Structure 1
Amino acid sequence: MAGGWHGPARGSTGRGGSRCRTAGRRRRVPPDAGRIRRPSPARAIPMRDPLHAVPVRYKLPLMFISVCLLAFGVGGYLVSGSARSALEGEILARLEFQSRAYATALAGRLQSLARRTEDFASDGYIRDHTEALLGEPGGARTGVVREELRGHLIRNKLPLEAAFVDLWILDSSGRVLVGTKEAPEGDFPQAIPPDGPAGPLVFSNFLQVGADARARLFISTPLFSRTGARPLGRLVAWVHPGVWIVTSLGGGEFAGSSGMDPVRLHLVDGKGDHLQVDPTLASGQARGLIPEILESDFGTTLLTEHASRVALAATRGGQDLFTKSYPVGESGWSVRVDLISENALAPVGGLQNRFLGVGLILAIAASLLFFFPMRFLARPLQHLTDAARRLRDGDFGTRVPVESSDEIGQLAQSFNSMASAVQERTESLQSTAEDLRDRQRELAFERDRMQAVISSMRDGLVVLDEEGTPVVYNRAAEPILEEILESEQQLHPHHDCLRRDRGSAECRGCLFDTSSAPRSCMLEIAGGVFEIHATRFVSSASGRPGRVLVSRDLSDRIAQDERQIHQERLAVLGEVAAVMAHELNNPLAAISMYNQMTAAELEGNEEVLANTEVIQRNVAVCKRTIRELLDYATDTTPEITAVHLADTLEDVSAFLRPLRERSNVALEIDVPDDLPEVSGDEVQIRQVFTNLVVNAIQAIGSRGGTVRIRAEREGTHAVVEVEDDGPGIPEEVRDKIFRPFFTTKSRGEGTGLGLPTARRIAEMHGGSLRCIRTGAQGTCFQVRLSLA
């Protein structure tokens, strides 16, 4: 929340305000000021001119041009549309006829190839040799019989049909026995129908064969023995698609007429692959290209899978197509022909443009005829437009000349009357606005002055309106404002609410209630103590009271008082401790000396020697108590140096080794090698960890255990944790462990100054010492020291 003035600038002149009067100026009041204006009855909104943005001198010519263009454009569209529809129907009919003719020719030619294949299979020579190969597959004459059969196929069968490029003889399992060319070794099950080798004719889909993946298809027919009683296998005739198409369509034409785009022909097989055919193959010269077709597959392109779907789409190169298809007999194939629609419809494409051209010429001629009449009509309207623009820009004295008595002249007179009224009203408003600006400057000055005063206050100021909402506050009041707006916790004053139950009284209700009487109290907010004075004031013209809160932060003063009291107590304690040390150390030294002399003289008297040991032990306790009291009471200035924690902790471990071994307690130290040195007095820091480890060993007791020391870096501090696995600190004394002279040990075993002394040393080094956890599993103390 930003500080400073946060209240709204109110311009009304209430109590305490000042009213501005301007000498020598008389304000002009409009004649209808204060009169209630009744709204006029609602009227139907007329239709808006669609050409409202077009100048008047252009509207009539533009309207005539639009009529011409619309008439000739719509007429041209209708005429060209009728012609286009008729032409499209004729083209589709022609394509349907052509696809049916192509399909019929290809089906007839395919059936003749099938009959030729069956004729080959009925050849007795082929039957006998095939039966001989099957009868003696490993005989001595197998190779001779195979070569004789292969030569018969090459010499006597293959030349009979130009479309056949290869002939195979298969056994009943589909294994290739003989081929006119290099037949592959192995099986060819595609030629065997599901009904077995004796099944009907098989027309294959397009296949890619050979090293160059040329497009081929085959016709498979059953091959029986001479008696016809036993199927020997299948005879497979491989057909060249290009030669088949040439011999079927060699006398046809792809183009409908001279100059038209040629029709594109596709052969689509049963699985969707298609063969794209060049128009040359259906021309009259195609039969002379059969040797070239056999050599290089000229004129045919096989497209499979995705390429087939793209090629069969209703577009060619992004152009729309006319397309028709027809099935090729019962083979499962179909013929598809298509034609680019734009080229086919070119004869009627310019008809609509010619109609539009005629309409445009007529429109231009009409606009020339309307030029001069519209000029005399538009000039007065232009004068009105210019005058209205000057009036908008602030020239309220502008007027337009009245040149006629028609509707345009009446409009000019009405405009001049309106301009006079606007000029009078504007002068009145300017006078009122000047008075308002003077008043606003005065209010701004008062607001800035109040803002400067409130911002410079060291005490917090919060102004609540009649609803209890803060409207004005400064930076010093942010803690109490945050408590009002954001915190759900109860505000507790020292003198009242802390003495009652938590829910019995709400200080917010009594302190911030705008209807309650003025009062003062002290509140604990965000860890600080604030003295708050609340008074009422009238915040609005309604007379409902608001509230003014003035707060003062007493935290620093209370802390300073507590520190001063603590220092005074330490000073008194130091003086007392010095006197006690002086007065007690000399008698204790004499008692210790004479006790030692007595023990030396009575070496044989064990009973007396036991008494002397008790005396000596109690003397040592008294001396230790005096020394610890002096350490706690005196403010010894530490000698700041760079201290290596690992070495210091090792010294503590070595110093306390006898005590650890006697108590059966293990000490584990975990300090990272890269931990930086800390800043402090090495002797005093060693005393802190010695006190903590001794307390941990004494807490574990004789049952044995482990004390763990872990160190790590947190920002600019080194954090050391000393943890034991003792029984923990009882809950009822946890808040008292850092009080001087408080101890849970038996009389004579502790002075209660170890932890207070260690904490004071840590704080003198800019750090802290606190107990972070305790319980049945042990206690852990944390020491924070500044890094060097």
Structure 2
Amino acid sequence: MFISVCLLAFGAGGYLVSGSARRALEEEILSRLDFQSRVYATALEGRIQTLARRTEDFASDGYIRELTRELVREEGTPAELQMKEELRAHLVGNKLPLEPSFADLYIVKPSGEVLLAANESSPTSAPGAVDSDSPDSPTYFSDLIPSEGAPRFFISTPLYSPKGGRCLGRLVCWVRSRVWIVSALSGGGLDLDRAEDSVRLQIVDGSRQRLIIDSELPLSTSDMPLVVEEQARELDGSPRHSGLVLFARSHPIESSGWQLQVDLIPDNAFAPIGGLQNRILGVGLTLGLLASLLLFFPMRFLARPLLRLTEAARRLRDGDYSSRVSIESSDELGELSESFNSMMDAVQERTERLQQTTADLRDRQSELSYERDRMRAVIASMRDGLVVLDGSGEPLFHNGPAAPLLRQILDAKNELVSHHICTTRESEELDCRACLFDPAGVPRSCVLEIDGGVYEVHTTLLGPDRTGMAGRVLVSRDLSDRITQDEQQIHQERLVVLGEVAAVMAHELNNPLAAINMYNQMTIAEVETESDIAENSQVIARNVQTCKRTIRELLDYATDATPEIGSVDIGATLEDASIFLRPIRERSSVKLSMDVPEGLPGVTGDEVQIRQVFVNLIVNAIQAFGPGGGTVTVKAHGAERHLIIDVSDDGPGISKDAHEQIFKPFFTTKPRGDGTGLGLPTARRITEMHGGGLELVTTGPSGSCFRVRLSIAPEPVT
């Protein structure tokens, strides 16, 4: 009876001990599988993102985009074959060697037809590579596709034209799954040797196809099986029973929408527990008689290690990888504890290595992002234009102020002409591109006329790229404002000199002219009206008046006389000008039409100066008519803040060459002696002094129209 009780006690105790060990081991196995699935999925995710960025980098290659654009445009022409060979040579020689995981490169039209493949034996269509509803959709990944050896999949990204951003199709990169997996798991220090634990890795794509990864993948040359599972479902990590016990964990590979599954057949892991049960029962049969004496000691030395093992497994599940189990015996429990501690050492080492690698990558990424953002901010804040050209002369990037120069670079039809006579040009071409954009030339500086402005352009050489071609950096500076300021300063200096000369001329010439005029008037009074002397005296009188008028206009233009400010009725001022010019109009057979409505708002200014503006404009119009005369029309109306007066005529108009010159001092289109070239500049200066302006609105064979703008006087505050 006692032996039966001992056997029952040993049996129950053995069952409890082995059950506790099994549960602890199951928790450890599931925790380890969950960790492994996350680690491997993270490694595969990082590698597939690298491949996607590499694909997008290929698609942004200016040479590929330009040749693809030309190939689409020249399709069906004799040049198509040569362009295909050039593009294929570029893909095979310069792109495929950059990424061992890539097996082939396709350029696919928006219709899905393969325009070009790096390997000539590739098919003529790529099903699924182009979305017919949205051919320029973002980068996406295909499902696993069976092929010789390991299955493949492709990464598809849009390919845009370098000019205009039009979608030319898709760039499809075929990926060798074997190379992708080995480089992802080996690159991070992860080994694939899991045979001793019967661990199996599987990749499940969006179509529920399973790619089984061999534990000896780097050394194996056998095919990687691709299993199609019709009823595949997401795994929850629980054991599944279909004739054997299987533990599994899965983690998503987010970029592609796939999952990585790690499963384990734990027969070998549970073997020590089964042996432990047998030995406990054997000891019970052999030592049944001594069970009453030895029962306390086995319970003490069996339960405590198992409890410590369970507690260590629980801490491992909670993320404490530093916990260890003390080894107090060399039996099965000691071996189990030693195996558990070895597993914990490996898990902790890999976790720390992954955490350190992740931290280093994150720090490096932050540094690169900071440097990139700082460089972009500096370039964007520059007032000078910056353009970086590659070896073929294509712009790589530029900032906002470089837009005028960039337009000239892209538009090869327009010539870049130097603002000054170029003494350093080595060729006879007028286009400055030959000097500025020659990769073999020395750095140069040049002043160019671009879009009506003047720009100073400096060039600097860049080092050669991977193809051995050197680029250029162009820095442009807008000199238009500086040139305008220089011209204004020169103009002011001329006015100062002109004022001094005018003062001297007025003093030195007015007195002799007054004497000439006085004696001439005395001569006219003494001679007969019909005599030749009287006629000659009239000629002298007119020329004396011309000299006085010239001196007066010169003084008015060169000196800033203080105006007498007051309220001006523009209607009365125009009427005075009409009366004043009546003799000239009648003598020239010119009709003056006044369209000045009553109630116009008043202006504030010098009435004499304002009247002089209209006198100058009407006199210019009268002098422009021929012997047949014509009509001068004056129209006035009020605007929002200005009073607008248009002075128009039906004369011959102003030539196109004189449009920009008529407001410059001393420029005149009249015959010598009929004008000084100061009437229009003086009129414009007076209108600008009164807060307005003077401009030429229209001119042509049917006449000209000048517009005077004067600021309306503010209403009095009540």
Q: State the TM-score, normalized to the length of structure 1.
A: 0.45
Q: Which has the larger radius of gyration?
A: 1
* Higher RCO, 1 vs 2 (CA within 8 Å, ≥6 residues apart): 1
Q: State the TM-score, normalized to the length of structure 2.
A: 0.49
